[in-house]
Structure 1
Amino acid sequence: MKAITTKQRILNAPITRILFGLLVCFIAFILAQQLTGKLLDLTTLDKNYRNLIKGIISSAAVIGAYSYFYKKYEKREITEFSKKGIAKYIIIGTLIGIVLQCLTILVITLSGGFEIVSINPISNMIIPFTVAFSVATFEEILIRGIIFRILEEKLGSYISLLITAIIFGALHLANPNSTLQSGLCVGIEAGFLMGAAYIYARNLWFPIAIHFSWNFMQSGIFGAITSGNEKTSSLLTTKISGSDLITGGEFGPEGTVQAIVFCLLAAFILIQLSKKKIVNPYWKEGNN
């Protein structure tokens, strides 16, 4: 058996694989955004449609960069973006995100804090669709595809779920109007739910679909603030008021108690359905 060199140990180390992967994906996203933006600026397309095309191309670039990089680096097939079952996972994931967001808004409505002011043209959904699609793809590749997947190999599914949930929540603390409560909410609900979705499907299509539809329903349909950012155009112009625990305040509905409850319940169900797919930490594997 060949001895492993120091260079190979460093290159094969989880932290190295994570950092290189993050760097590659960031570069791919930035280059795609800039190059596509410059080309589209030469056209007469409406700004919203230019942004939509730019978002789709940028997302495809990140998927391509991730797949090519890890296929070469880790010398394996990239099953995270397998075509097998893609339609099923996208459809079911989208429905889960829609249901969870509707239940969250339903609680606000029942508390008397949700009012529809007007119904707008369908074209108003283009911007939030673009943002939700791009953000879901980019964040799920970085957090679940790179960080969670690689940590899970050594630390197992449960510890990796906890670590990536903390990272995901901490990243959102940098958002406008973020609070410790909102960061905890995002970390708990989205961190565990998206991680559980990845464990269940063992691909990224499923968590991307859940993430996308959750964000799109929140901002594109219900016209709510998303992750503390400014409101975008939406199908419905709405007024949300009431206790921050129920409405999420200036951070939006994902910073609510009911969002935690519904998303944690969904995560628990997915974990229960994924018992055979749970990875044990390396120290337990060694004892088997």
Structure 2
Amino acid sequence: MNQSIKKFLYFPITKIILGISICLSLFVAIQNFISKPLLYNLIQDKNIADPLIHIISFFVLLLSYYFLFRFYDKREIKELSTKYLAKEMFGGFTVGFLTITLSIFILYSLGYYQFIGISTANYPIKLFTTLVVAALIEDLFIRGLILRELENWLGTHIALVIIMLIETSHFFNPNSNLFSLFTDLCWGFTMSMLFIYTKRIWLPFFFHLGWNFAQPFYGSNLTGLNDMGTIIQSRFEGPLLFTGGAVGIEGSIITVLFLLSIGIFLYYRSNKEGKIIKRKTIKL
């Protein structure tokens, strides 16, 4: 292969663009031309068909990424290693869920959160599987691909700043406010550190899933969305800075401080354990 072509193909930005384009193209094509037509034809109830479609899409994303980069990089795909999967699955989901739970408990103690009732009628399983696929898309590409490539190319600190800025795209979600920008930056920092500490997507992915599931579980909006179902019927009343308002509990200063604390702790551990990659010196 011509050296200039090889250099272009293995340039980090090229790999990021090709990786996202190829994997998402397969994801969209298989979902729209195979999974949906087949399952909608076999199963009339979309509350049953949609979760199955989401499960297929989940594995399409993982397998397309795995085989693409096995061929592309000719390496072991360590970011998808399942060696510590059980530990990172239960640990990530638990910490993500408990972070929101602690915030809810504090709001309850302050009188800003009221419990009304509990019912699963407003939370079909397809809402949870939607969260699973959405979290995987974000964590596979932003953490597993973009962060990994940028970290190896530019070093951890520059990669962190870039990912934090990318995460501010959540600002365009419904009901966002100026404080949402700070929330997004903290989210980008902590989610990046969850990946940097393990070098695998599973800890941030399951943290993300626990975090996203906990919000509608407690009756909160999710990132400004009010159509993600509820399990606990509740009422939030109090200062916007504490309740998060229409953004949801993740927009609360309490939640953001918990989130930031996790990121700072993991940065300290990563630095202590030599997991922070320094920027390579370019020789002229």
Smaller-chain TM-score range? over 0.9
Measure the CA separation in 1 of the matches of 2:219 and 2:22. Answer: 34
1:248 partnered with 2:247: no
2:87 aligned counterpart, secondary structure? helix
Please give the per-residue CA displacement for 1:44-76, whole angstroms capped at 9, x wherever unaligned: 353222221111111111111111111111111
Please give the per-residue CA displacement for 1:108-167, whole angstroms capped at 9, x wherever unaligned: 223322122221037825133212211111100111011101000121112211210110
Task: Determine if contact 1:176/1:229 at 8 Å carries over to the other structure.
Answer: yes
Give the counterpart of 1:211 among 198, 208, 211: 208
Within 5 Å, give how 1:40-189 maps onto structure 2: 40-44=39-43, 46-121=45-120, 124=123, 126-169=125-168, 171-188=169-186
Aligned partner of 2:254 in structure 1 is 258
Aligned partner of 1:21 in structure 2 is 19
Q: Percent identity?
A: 31
Specify whether residues 256 and 25 from structure 1 end up closer, same or farther in structure 2 by C-alpha distance, changes over 3 A only. farther
Per mean C-alpha deviation after superposition, the further-off stretch among 124-133 and 83-92 is: 124-133
Specify whether residues 106 and 38 from structure 1 end up closer, same or farther in structure 2 by C-alpha distance, changes over 3 A only. same
2:123 aligned counterpart, secondary structure? helix
Specify whether residues 116 and 33 from structure 1 end up closer, same or farther in structure 2 by C-alpha distance, changes over 3 A only. farther
Per mean C-alpha deviation after superposition, the further-off stretch among 135-144 and 172-181 is: 172-181
Measure the CA separation in 2 of the matches of 1:125 and 1:106. Answer: 25
Shift of 1:234: 2.2
Measure the CA separation in 1 of the matches of 2:210 and 2:58. Answer: 16
Measure the CA separation in 2 of the matches of 1:109 and 1:25. Answer: 43
Aligned partner of 2:191 in structure 1 is 194
1:237 aligned counterpart, secondary structure? strand
Give the counterpart of 2:277 among 275, 279, 287: 279
Aligned partner of 1:10 in structure 2 is 8
Give the counterpart of 1:231 among 201, 222, 227: 227
Specify whether residues 257 and 241 from structure 1 end up closer, same or farther in structure 2 by C-alpha distance, changes over 3 A only. same
Measure the CA separation in 1 of the matches of 2:263 and 2:121. Answer: 32
Give the letter for the 2:154 counterpart. Answer: L
Measure the CA separation in 1 of the matches of 2:31 and 2:243. Answer: 34
Task: Determine if contact 1:224/1:231 at 8 Å carries over to the other structure.
Answer: no
| Moved beyond 3 Å, runs of 4+ | none
Measure the CA separation in 2 of the matches of 1:236 and 1:70. Answer: 42
Per mean C-alpha deviation after superposition, the further-off stretch among 234-243 and 192-201 is: 234-243
Task: Determine if contact 1:156/1:282 at 8 Å carries over to the other structure.
Answer: yes
Measure the CA separation in 2 of the matches of 1:25 and 1:251. Answer: 31
RMSD of Structure 2 on Structure 1 (CA): 1.9
Under a length normalisation based on structure 2, what TM-score does the superposition of the two structures give? 0.92
Under a length normalisation based on structure 1, what TM-score does the superposition of the two structures give? 0.91
**Structure 1: stretches of 5+ with no match in the other structure:** none
Measure the CA separation in 1 of the matches of 2:178 and 2:122. Answer: 35
2:162 aligned counterpart, secondary structure? helix
Task: Determine if contact 2:167/2:184 at 8 Å carries over to the other structure.
Answer: yes
Measure the CA separation in 2 of the matches of 1:128 and 1:183. Answer: 26
Task: Determine if contact 1:186/1:254 at 8 Å carries over to the other structure.
Answer: no
Give the letter for the 2:40 counterpart. Answer: D
Specify whether residues 63 and 116 from structure 1 end up closer, same or farther in structure 2 by C-alpha distance, changes over 3 A only. same
Specify whether residues 4 and 184 from structure 1 end up closer, same or farther in structure 2 by C-alpha distance, changes over 3 A only. farther
Specify whether residues 272 and 4 from structure 1 end up closer, same or farther in structure 2 by C-alpha distance, changes over 3 A only. farther
Specify whether residues 115 and 128 from structure 1 end up closer, same or farther in structure 2 by C-alpha distance, changes over 3 A only. farther
